[in-house]
Structures are given as structure tokens and as C-alpha cells.
Amino acid sequence: MKGKLEPSERERLVEEGKSLKESLVSMEEDLVKLKDELQHVAQSIPNMTHPDVPVGGEDSSAIRKEVGCPREFHFQIKDHLQLGKDLDLIDFDSAAEVSGSKFFYLKNEAVLLEMALLNWTLSQVMKKGYTPLTTPEIVRSSIVEKCGFQPRGDNTQVYSIDGTDQCLIGTAEIPLGGIHMDSILLESALPLKYIAFSHCFRTEAGAAGAATKGLYRVHQFSKAEMFVICRPEDSEFFHHELIQIEEDLFTSLGLHFKTLDMATADLGAPAYRKFDIEAWMPGFGRFGEISSASNCTDYQSRRLGIRYRPSEPLQTGPKKGKANLPATKFVHTLNATACAVPRMMVCLLENNQQEDGSVVIPEPLRPFMGGIELIKPKLK
């Protein structure tokens, strides 16, 4: 229409322009809706799976490693709830009145034990180059979703705050994933390795039965979580580093446990591969999960928008012209439990009990508890 035109031709072109414009507006609206719809359904496509992961349900999970063996007791053992009562360490009854079921107070040496576990875990993991952090425990619900959780489902594990778009975190993985969201990191900054402490809150909706007794399943607990952000080619290496750290920690504490390579039906949507550690809990008479280490590859980073810019490769050819930055790539993220306090407490109390009702403190923890070696029954 910029050129010289006959009036009739100009009019024809104007009509054509209008018609095109209307079609465009309508189509662009459709495109937006379609993109939204696509996004909505596609978000639920789970991550791909590592080729070595066993296919099947939980019975198909493979044992990677087994450490120790169940202790032989020559007396009638107590479970952690009984020990907690007898040694005045755990109070579920008052908490049921104050807060509801699955809440508890820790008392006396149990408080020292929690602090020793967290302090010791921190010092051990820091030695491997992990940066300590504490995190917010209230986050925007969008962050929860971007990490692959469902804050608003019927059986959601997530507590929401009244009158806001905020939720309580169920794990520090969430605020950790959020730290670098919508960012482009330098390749030289990677890997980023964090160990974060937080309280975690879970509704445990839908969980019932014996697998909920005592400290095994609670609404609020302290946890130390490891989180790694790295280049794609390094995530397998760090998955093995994380599981090694966990195995070293639990071995040092004298636990009997097995490391499982979780089968496909037991991976959460974000996990490319997941190693769970289950420890022997004599009071329950079976193994219980005490940690989980997931390689989420780029599932979370594509949702959180965490990219990195690869460093410039060295060029020996002709002088570089105007610098073209290499294209950004999505990082890989991994997360792993360093210490979930209540489950560790179940293990330590039940495994380390003695006939006289006392509980032995594992050696590595004693310096962090003012040297206490034993939790003794209190005189009444």
C-alpha cells in the first residue's frame, strides 16, 4: 500500500488488510489458548528415566548396597515411642491437644540429639564443599508447582496459608530451587552445592495405618537437605557424590541400611533416577526410608527457568569478530536428604537401646552434645 495505486486497487487492498487483521486477532487468541492448553497437559509428562533404572513397581527396586546387619537383642526391646515415654524425650499427648495428631514436643536429651544431628551433619557435608543455608519456610505456591509438587490437589501434601498465594514448604528443595530461578548462571559458577536446614511441613493426607506411628510420619520436622545445580554432563557424577555422602553419614552413625535404585513406578515425576536409603528400625521390625537422592536433570530447571551460559571455547583461528555469546542451556538439579531428624531418631533410639532402658549416643555425635554418651532413665 506504500506504492502508487489506482483508487480501486487501493480500496481492494484496504479491505484485504482489514480482513487479514481480523483473522489474525482471532487466530492469535486461539494460539494463546492453545499454548496454555498445551502447557497445562504437557507439564504432567514425567521426566525421562535413566536406562539402568529397573522397570516396575516397588518390588522391582534394586538393592545397590547394604551396610551392616540387624543387631541381635537379648532382651525385650521397646519401640521409639515407648523409649520416648520412658526416657521423657518425646511428648505426643500434649501436642495432640495443642495442635492435633502427628505433632510432638521433643524434650531433654532428644533436643540435644536433634541439634547434634544437625550440627554434625552440617560440619560433615560442609567438608565436601557444600555451602550452608537456611531458607524461608513460606513460599509462593508457584514455586512449589515449578519444583514438581501439587499444592492444590485433593490429597495434597502442602499446607496453604489462608488469604494468600503462599504455602508451607514440605522440603528445603523448594526454596533452594527458587534461589536461582529465572537466572542465567555462568558456567564457571557451577556446580552450586548447598546444604540447607529448614523445618518441613506436610499434611500427610491419605497416609494411614501402621506406617504412621510415632515419629515415622509427622506434620512438622527438621531436615538438612543437599541441593546441587550443575551442567548436564555432570549430574550423574553428583548423583553418585550425593548418595556417597549419605551412605558415609549413616555408616558413621552405625546404622544398618540398604540403598535402593527405585523402580520406574516409584519415581516422582521430576526424578530421572532416585536412590532411597532404608534403615533397619527394630521397633517396627522392618526397614523405613530415611533419605532420598534424586537426579532431576532439567525437569525442574525448565520450570524454574535456571540456565547457564557455557564458557567461550578457546579459539586459535582467525581473530574473533564481534563476540557471539554461546546459547544458554538448562542446568541439571539434584536433591538429597542429609538428615531427616525424626526418622534418624527412630533409628538411633530403637537400635541403640540397652537392657537397662538407656540409649547409647553414637560416637560422632557426642562432641556435639557436650560429651554425653548415654541417655539414662531419669529417677522419679
Partner 1 sequence: MSLHKLRLAAAVPLTISTFSSRLFLKPFPNTLTLGLFSRRLQQHKPLLVRAFSASATVQDIPATQTTVSSVARPQWKASIDFKWIRDNKEAVEINIKNRNSNANLDVVLELYENMVNLQKEVERLREERNNVAKKMKGKLEPSERERLVEEGKSLKESLVSMEEDLVKLKDELQHVAQSIPNMTHPDVPVGGEDSSAIRKEVGCPREFHFQIKDHLQLGKDLDLIDFDSAAEVSGSKFFYLKNEAVLLEMALLNWTLSQVMKKGYTPLTTPEIVRSSIVEKCGFQPRGDNTQVYSIDGTDQCLIGTAEIPLGGIHMDSILLESALPLKYIAFSHCFRTEAGAAGAATKGLYRVHQFSKAEMFVICRPEDSEFFHHELIQIEEDLFTSLGLHFKTLDMATADLGAPAYRKFDIEAWMPGFGRFGEISSASNCTDYQSRRLGIRYRPSEPLQTGPKKGKANLPATKFVHTLNATACAVPRMMVCLLENNQQEDGSVVIPEPLRPFMGGIELIKPKLK
Contact track, partner 1, 209-238, x by CB under 8 A: ----------xx-x----------------
Q: Are 342 and 220 in contact (CB under 8 A)?
A: no
Instruction: Indicate whether 114 belongs to the interface with partner 1 (CB under 8 A).
Output: yes
Minimum Å gap between C-beta 307 and partner 1 is: 16
Q: Residue 270: is the preceding peptide bond cis (ω within 30°)? A: no
| 3-state secondary structure (DSSP) of residue 223 | strand
Interface residue with partner 1 among 134, 155, 251, 311 (CB under 8 A) is 134
Instruction: Indicate whether 103 belongs to the interface with partner 1 (CB under 8 A).
Output: yes
Which range of residues in 65-73, 137-145, 235-243, 264-272 is near partner 1 by CB under 8 A?
A: 137-145
Q: Are 109 and 372 in contact (CB under 8 A)?
A: yes
Give 159: exposed, middle or buried? Use CB within 10 Å, 0-12, 13-18, 19+: middle
Instruction: Indicate whether 135 belongs to the interface with partner 1 (CB under 8 A).
Output: yes
| Nine cell digits for residue 355 | 537392657
Interface residue with partner 1 among 71, 128, 140, 258 (CB under 8 A) is 140
**302 given a catalytic annotation:** no
Site of grid cell 495505486: 5
Q: Which is nearer to partner 1, 162 or 356 (CB)?
A: 162
Minimum Å gap between C-beta 302 and partner 1 is: 18
Instruction: Indicate whether 251 belongs to the interface with partner 1 (CB under 8 A).
Output: no
Minimum Å gap between C-beta 295 and partner 1 is: 23
Q: Which is it for strands 286-295 and 306-309: parallel, antiparallel or unpaired?
A: unpaired
Q: Are 125 and 338 in contact (CB under 8 A)?
A: yes
Residue 343, amino acid? R
Give 187: exposed, middle or buried? Use CB within 10 Å, 0-12, 13-18, 19+: middle
Instruction: Indicate whether 115 belongs to the interface with partner 1 (CB under 8 A).
Output: yes
**12 given a catalytic annotation:** no
231, 273, 307, 343: which one is catalytic? 343
Q: Which is nearer to partner 1, 176 or 336 (CB)?
A: 176
Element (H, E) at 349: helix 341-351
Minimum Å gap between C-beta 30 and partner 1 is: 32
Interface residue with partner 1 among 166, 244, 252, 264 (CB under 8 A) is 166
**246 given a catalytic annotation:** no
Rounded to whole angstroms, the Cα distance separating 132 from 141 reads 24
Site of grid cell 548447598: 194
Instruction: Indicate whether 104 belongs to the interface with partner 1 (CB under 8 A).
Output: yes
Half-sphere CA count of 226, side-chain side, radius 13 A:
33
Instruction: Indicate whether 101 belongs to the interface with partner 1 (CB under 8 A).
Output: no
Rounded to whole angstroms, the Cα distance separating 281 from 366 reads 22
**217 given a catalytic annotation:** yes
Element (H, E) at 120: helix 109-126
Rounded to whole angstroms, the Cα distance separating 345 from 366 reads 15
Which range of residues in 71-79, 194-202, 277-285, 332-340 is near partner 1 by CB under 8 A?
A: 194-202
Interface residue with partner 1 among 111, 186, 265, 374 (CB under 8 A) is 111
Minimum Å gap between C-beta 181 and partner 1 is: 7
**145 given a catalytic annotation:** no
Rounded to whole angstroms, the Cα distance separating 292 from 270 reads 13
Instruction: Indicate whether 91 belongs to the interface with partner 1 (CB under 8 A).
Output: yes
What b/e string do you get for 139-151 counting C-beta neighbours within 10 Å, with b at 16 or more? bbbebbbbbbbeb
* Catalytically active residues, by annotation: 202, 217, 289, 292, 343
Which residues lie near partner 1 (CB under 8 A)? Answer: 91, 94-95, 97-100, 103-108, 111-112, 114-115, 118-119, 122-123, 131-140, 143, 159-163, 166, 168, 175, 178-182, 197, 199, 201, 219-220, 222, 370
